[in-house]
Structure 1
Amino acid sequence: MAHSAYSHSDLHMQFGPKLITSLPGPKATAAVAHDDRVISPSYTRSYPLVAKSGRGIRITDVDGNEFLDFAAGIAVNSTGHCHPDVVTAIQKQAAELIHISGTDFYYESMTQFADRLSAVAPMPGPHRFYYGNSGAEAVECALKVARYHTKRQHVISFFGAFHGRTMGALSLTGSKPQQKRRFAPLVPGVTHIEYPYAYRGCTGGPQEQEKFALGCARYIEDKLFKKTLPPEEVAAIFVEPIQGEGGYVVAPTNFLQELRAICDRHGILLVADEVQSGAGRTGKWWAIEHTGVQPDIVCMAKGIASGMPLGICMTRAEIMDWVPGSHASTFGGNPIAIASALATMDILEREGIANAEKIGGKMLDRLKGWTKTHALVGDVRGRGLMIGIELVLDKETREPATALRNRVETLCFEKGLLILGCGETSLRLCPPLIVNEQEATVALDILEEALSQVEEEHARASEAVAVEA
């Protein structure tokens, strides 16, 4: 992927990270120690990055070290850090109106933004919108409005799903036991079934994988509706078109098509959770657009407002038929968040979405070769700039390499690249959508260097064990 105008060393010199201390540096070490004393221990931190400032795809820590950010605040900073257009929009709005609460009063940017979103919706209009503060709140809204509209109580979700941590969203989440441990009873009426995670559920080729995916969807009618779950009591099916925390697993088209058909047959609402996969990240506005399937409800957040807190539930207009007082949010859709979102949409439409398709395609072309050249890489998958790399100890058994995945993640940080894990044993790449080809090349070079180092360490450790045996 390296641009022909640059030598390898020049490329890294100009576009790479700039580290000036050991990591973590002295100020970062002190900040982490302070954090350990006063901040909730429920937070998960992968490595000791203490951020101070950000520009574009770069983060500078409190010690002056500069990193390439391919995590983007968990896929939030879609336009990069502190994009000047977004900063200007926030500053202008902050000087005019910060808050008045759209649940009690009116302001025009709420409807202006709704019209903009309606124009790019993945299902025909008219539409209605609810504004909250986060992805979890968007999911909570979807759950409540689905039950309200259908007058049904049951919902279906999937193993591996992450829909949030508030009680309703957490009930739909099927990602990790720790997220639910000691919080029961959760919201009743949720049934989890298998997601079409082909690499973990099917060892055959493309035809077998398609059959497997179809079987995951048909399990609903073939088993659930015949054995335990009356279809006329199911309000909605919640699905991520690409599972985020579950491992960046792409749902096959035939699976989503079958879900749509099941919903149509039984009057069930199809809810697309696009909190992580939406806002242009996959090279289209919404990941579900790659399949042609039209949902009834879309949940969005993360990248839609470039870091400002905003969660949105969009429905076909007739679904949002509840009456005043049924649901609301004091801060949801505040003027500053909407100003940021409008500026974000401008940037994404102008350049970000097309760039995600272009650069993501180039990255995937390079990464897919790693399944042949790297012993630990079992699978590479994704769309646009939402890319997952699954590491395994053995390509035949596909045994997860969780500890080695974590080691790669840490090494990347030590080399100046910020990435995150997802699923049991995968790495995720979700840089800002404004990343250029040179930055992507340098990032993959660093990742490959870290991966090769871990493979060598693992090989030496395995040889040592064999000698002792």
Structure 2
Amino acid sequence: MSSVPSWLDPNRPQPHLVTELPGPAAKSVLDRDRLVTSPSLPRAYAIAPRRGYGSVIEDVDGNLFLDFNAGIAVNSTGHCHPRIVAAVREQAENLLHYSASDFYLPVYGQMCEALAATAPMDGKVRVFLTNSGAEAVEGALKLSRYATGRPYVISFYGSFHGRTYGAMTLTGSKAKYHQGFGPLLPGVLHAPYAPASLDYIEDVLFEHQVEPTEVAAIFVEPIQGEGGYIVPPTGWIARLRDICDRHGILLVADEVQCGMGRTGRMWAIEHTGVQPDVLISAKGIASGLPLGAFLARAELMEKWGPGAHGSTYGGSPVPCAAGIATLTVIREEGLLANATDQGTFLMAGLRELQAEFPELLVDVRGVGLMIGVQFPTGEIAGRVQEAGFRRGLLVLEAGSNAVRMSPPLVLTREQARSGVRLFGEAVRAVATELAGRS
């Protein structure tokens, strides 16, 4: 990256805190926000961002933070990458919106071509663009039932697929996501996720709840995101593929969080050697602009015709321009290799920390820049998250008792080193607190 903005003085430490947290300006933002916004928003900590560049966020008080959550794994090319900003500016100056659902929008087709070229499936692939990951999940769910003529789908405990009704029903990570919203979408069953055996699907679900000939698809995250950054053991996804093949079931890979280069491959499922029938993407696909997609083998997508699915804003010009630029930057600036290199460094540092606090760091797991650190309880994970924030490191809880690290793919070695140091300070502070309570 070049053209570092003037506000980000390279001689100033990163992170760099100049006020208490939250600072006075941030407190004002919080006070105004609480008067008008929905209380359903699950805010993690009291940061009020003003601007960002690369892996650094500045808040409204001038505090600099090292961003190890990237807007929940969204800012794949970092904050305000110059090539993304240029693509957005150029597109905005020419055409802000025209619906690709009813008309032929050139940049929509270009984005679909660029995305299809990355697909981890042999043969021809077709693409539908959406505004979000949840919308992409809904579209994939509709396509799966339409293309197979089957009514049932299977998802996994621990999964997160979104908050719209179909996506929320597929979600199995926390009961609170379903609380108060029943009845949910019919025809959705759940099974234990890895490392649990897949025998449950065949020995329990197929034996007692549904004939496999009535199952349209199995939705799976190749690496679970909100469920705690859980990586399946070698061969687990391949076994799932085998179950699908034997019963004519579609394998749908939800890569909203684990895709777009986060694991050092464009798609996390590429680590397994398995090809999905449908693949879902969003979050990092457009470096922060609202864009999602589901890709499918052409023979599946070609089973539905005009009017079967559409979207007024999905694949709007500006997000598409950002998406094309994002794919270009990931490819041309070596971000897949960087995700692998920096992820390896982070994992090594975190495992050293685990050796220092074996009873506190229950597990350190991940691939590339998708790393989860598990603690004994959710309370402790929350304390570590808050302690990181107080030191200028932005991490985020995941699952019932883990903290996730999903920094931008442009993370530098110096920033990775700072991240490990700050996380270690947060863990030591929490360990001291716990020792004082015992």
Q: Same fold (TM over 0.5)?
A: yes
Letter in 1 for 2:122: P
1:269 maps to 250
How far does residue 14 in structure 1 lie from its aligned partner after superposition? 5.3
1:451 maps to 427
1:55/1:365 CA distance change after superposition, 3 Å = same
Q: Does 1:176 align with 2:174?
A: yes
1:161 maps to 159
Q: Does 1:341 align with 2:323?
A: yes
2:235 maps to 254
2:84 maps to 86
**Which one of the candidate residues 68, 84, 109 is aligned to 2:66?**
68
Q: Is the 8 A contact 2:391 2:422 kept in 1?
A: yes
**Which one of the candidate residues 378, 383, 393 is aligned to 1:407?**
383
How far does residue 390 in structure 1 lie from its aligned partner after superposition? 0.2
**Which one of the candidate residues 193, 196, 199 is aligned to 1:195?**
193
How far does residue 369 in structure 1 lie from its aligned partner after superposition? 2.7
> 2 CA distance for matches of 1:449 and 1:291?
35
Q: Does 1:365 align with 2:348?
A: yes
Q: Does 1:331 align with 2:313?
A: yes
> 2 CA distance for matches of 1:145 and 1:276?
21
> 2 CA distance for matches of 1:453 and 1:259?
42
Identical residues among aligned pairs (%): 51
**Deviation digits for residues 108-156 of structure 1 (CA, Å, limit 9, x no counterpart):** 2222222222221111120111111000001000000000000000000
Q: Does 1:224 align with 2:208?
A: no
Q: Is the 8 A contact 1:27 1:63 kept in 2?
A: yes
How far does residue 13 in structure 1 lie from its aligned partner after superposition? 7.3
- Give the structure-1-normalised TM-score: 0.89
How far does residue 371 in structure 1 lie from its aligned partner after superposition? 2.6
2:373 maps to 389
1:309 maps to 290
Q: Is the 8 A contact 1:71 1:431 kept in 2?
A: yes
Q: Is the 8 A contact 1:299 1:314 kept in 2?
A: yes
**Deviation digits for residues 291-310 of structure 1 (CA, Å, limit 9, x no counterpart):** 00110000000001000000
How far does residue 253 in structure 1 lie from its aligned partner after superposition? 2.9
Q: Is the 8 A contact 2:14 2:56 kept in 1?
A: no
> 2 CA distance for matches of 1:239 and 1:252?
14
Moved over 4 A (4+): 12-15
SS in 1 for 2:434: helix
How far does residue 39 in structure 1 lie from its aligned partner after superposition? 0.3
**Deviation digits for residues 164-197 of structure 1 (CA, Å, limit 9, x no counterpart):** 000010010011111111111111000011001x
Q: Is the 8 A contact 2:159 2:226 kept in 1?
A: yes
Q: Is the 8 A contact 2:99 2:105 kept in 1?
A: no
SS in 2 for 1:249: coil
> 2 CA distance for matches of 1:238 and 1:70?
28
> 1 CA distance for matches of 2:123 and 2:371?
31
> 2 CA distance for matches of 1:414 and 1:282?
28
SS in 1 for 2:371: strand
1:281 maps to 262
Alignment of 1:98-109 (within 5 A): 98-109=96-107
Letter in 2 for 1:306: S
- Give the structure-2-normalised TM-score: 0.96
Alignment of 1:23-172 (within 5 A): 23-172=21-170
How far does residue 223 in structure 1 lie from its aligned partner after superposition? 2.0
2:5 maps to none
> 1 CA distance for matches of 2:410 and 2:221?
24
RMSD over equivalenced CA pairs, Å: 1.2
> 1 CA distance for matches of 2:352 and 2:393?
21
SS in 1 for 2:235: helix
Q: Is the 8 A contact 2:130 2:291 kept in 1?
A: yes
Q: Is the 8 A contact 1:15 1:438 kept in 2?
A: no
Which runs of 5 or more structure 1 residues have no equivalent in the other structure? 1-11, 199-212, 393-400, 463-469
Letter in 1 for 2:41: Y
> 1 CA distance for matches of 2:308 and 2:68?
40
> 1 CA distance for matches of 2:177 and 2:405?
23
How far does residue 16 in structure 1 lie from its aligned partner after superposition? 2.5
SS in 1 for 2:159: coil
> 1 CA distance for matches of 2:429 and 2:184?
43
SS in 2 for 1:369: helix
Q: Is the 8 A contact 2:112 2:128 kept in 1?
A: no
1:318 maps to 299
> 1 CA distance for matches of 2:259 and 2:184?
27
Letter in 2 for 1:109: V
> 1 CA distance for matches of 2:379 and 2:253?
32
Q: Is the 8 A contact 1:70 1:429 kept in 2?
A: yes
Letter in 1 for 2:98: I
> 1 CA distance for matches of 2:218 and 2:295?
15
How far does residue 218 in structure 1 lie from its aligned partner after superposition? 2.3
> 1 CA distance for matches of 2:29 and 2:191?
42
> 2 CA distance for matches of 1:14 and 1:286?
36
Which runs of 5 or more structure 2 residues have no equivalent in the other structure? 1-9
Q: Is the 8 A contact 1:158 1:174 kept in 2?
A: yes
